[in-house]
Copies of this chain bind each other. A is one copy, B any other.
Amino acid sequence: MRFSPLLDELIKSLQVLPGVGPKSAQRMAFALLERQRAGGRKLAHVLEQSLDRIGHCRQCRTFTEEEICPICANPKRALGGQLCIVESPADVVAIEQTGQFQGRYFVLMGHLSPLDGVGPEELGLDRLADWLAAEQFEELILATNPTVEGEATAYFIADIARSHGVRVSRIAHGVPIGGELELVDGNTLSHSLMGRKAFAD
C-alpha cells in the first residue's frame, strides 16, 4: 500500500484504460481529486450508463445505445447501394472523416483468427449473409486492415458476397500520400507496385 486503500484502488482501476500505466494513473487520480471533482463525477456516471446501455447496432454491429445506429437509420445512406466492411467502429470514424463515402457499413468487431476462437460466427457473417440476401447491394467494399488476418477475412467475405451476386472491391494499399518510397516497408511497396494503374487513369 502506497497511499490510503481507496486511492490505491482508484490508481489501479484507472489502469484498465489503454495506454495508462501506474505513473499516468497516479497523475490522473491526483488531477481528478485536486481539480476535476465535478468532471470526475460526470465521468463515473456516464461510464456506468454507457456500459449499461451501449450495445451493437442490430444491422451493422457498430456501437450504439439505440436498436439501429444513426448511419443505418439514415435512408440517404442506402441510396448508392454500397456496403463497406470494416474491422472496428474506429474504422467507421476514420472513413466517415474522409467524407468520401456515403453508403453503409458492416462492422466485424475483429477479424478471422481461428487460434483465438474467432470464426465467421463471431464476426456476424451469418447476419451479413442474411443482409446481402434481403437487400440488393451494388457494391461491397472490403476495408479490413492490410494484415494477414485482415486479408484472409476479406477473401472469406468476398466469397460470401459473390455467392449473392454482389460486386466486390478492396480499398487500395500503397505508399501513403506524402510518404517517401525509401521509408515505406517492402511489403507496402510490393502492394503499391502490384496495384499500379495506367498513368492517364
Contact = CB atoms under 8 A, between A and B. Distances in A.
Interface of A: 1-7, 9-10, 13-14, 16-19, 24, 26-34, 36-37, 39-51, 53-54, 63-66, 69-70, 88-90, 93, 96, 109
Nearest to A110: B34
Would you call the interface of chain A mostly helix, strand, loop, or mixed?
Answer: helix
Given A10-B46, A63-B3, A16 B36 contact: yes
Contacts of A1: 70
B64 A30 contact: no
A70 to B, nearest CB: 6
Contact of A6 (B16, B27, B39, B49): B49
13 contacts: A3-B64, A3-B70, A5-B65, A7-B63, A17-B43, A19-B27, A26-B90, A32-B51, A33-B50, A33-B63, A43-B47, A44-B47, A47-B47
